[in-house]
């Protein structure tokens, strides 16, 4: 996944930090979210669409559209990392890094009517088995 360098005028960043509860301005956060969604969409297209469908409606894999289980970032991270042999989902533990899993997690959690927010790479890291 590409590292993100966000260039925001200092005045806008300071104003955003003062008016928003986070340290990033709202527009900078929106830019990061848009980049996560774009990267996540590409990863989904490359790895997931064959089973979960381009519209998240499922097929060989379960539907993701309107799936309440997507509310848990930790559960999604664990599922992507470990797969589900019983249901034919391969593990992506050795295929995708934490940032890539966070991006695709963010994509599926916010597509097809889902609105569960971003999934952080730190969340993925907590679910990744240690060696």
pLDDT computed for residue 24 by the predictor: 63
Half-sphere exposure for 130 (CA within 13 Å, toward CB): 1
Find the CATH number of the domain harbouring 108. 1.10.760.10
Structurally, the chain folds into a number of domains equal to 1
Tens digit of pLDDT per residue, the chain (131 long)?
A: 555 444 444 344 334 443 444 456 777 677 778 889 999 999 999 999 999 999 999 999 999 999 999 999 999 999 999 999 988 999 999 999 999 999 999 999 999 999 999 999 999 999 998 86
**pLDDT at res. 77:** 97
Q: Is residue 8 part of a domain?
A: no
Write down the pLDDT at residue 14: 38
d(CA 117, CA 105): 9
CA distance 38 to 103: 8
Partners of 89 in the β-ladder: 84
| pLDDT score of 1 | 52
CA distances 32 to 4, 84, 106, 112, 121, Å, are 8, 30, 11, 20, 13
Helix (H, G, I), strand (E, B) or coil at 89: strand
Is residue 14 one of the residues assigned to a domain? no
Range of the domain at 91: 29-127
């Amino acid at each position: 996944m590409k590292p993100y360098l966000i260039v925001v005028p200092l005045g806008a960043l300071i104003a955003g930090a003062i008016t928003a509860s986070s340290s990033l301005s709202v527009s900078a956060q929106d830019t990061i979210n848009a980049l996560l969604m774009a990267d996540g969409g590409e990863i989904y297209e490359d790895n997931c669409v064959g089973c979960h469908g381009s519209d998240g409606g499922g097929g060989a894999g379960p539907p993701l559209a309107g799936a309440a289980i997507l509310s848990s970032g930790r559960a999604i991270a664990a599922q992507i990392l470990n797969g589900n042999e019983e249901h034919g989902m391969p593990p992506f533990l050795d295929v995708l890094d934490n940032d890539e899993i966070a991006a695709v997690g963010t994509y599926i959690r916010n597509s097809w009517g889902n609105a569960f927010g971003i999934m952080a790479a730190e969340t993925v890291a907590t679910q990744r088995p240690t060696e």
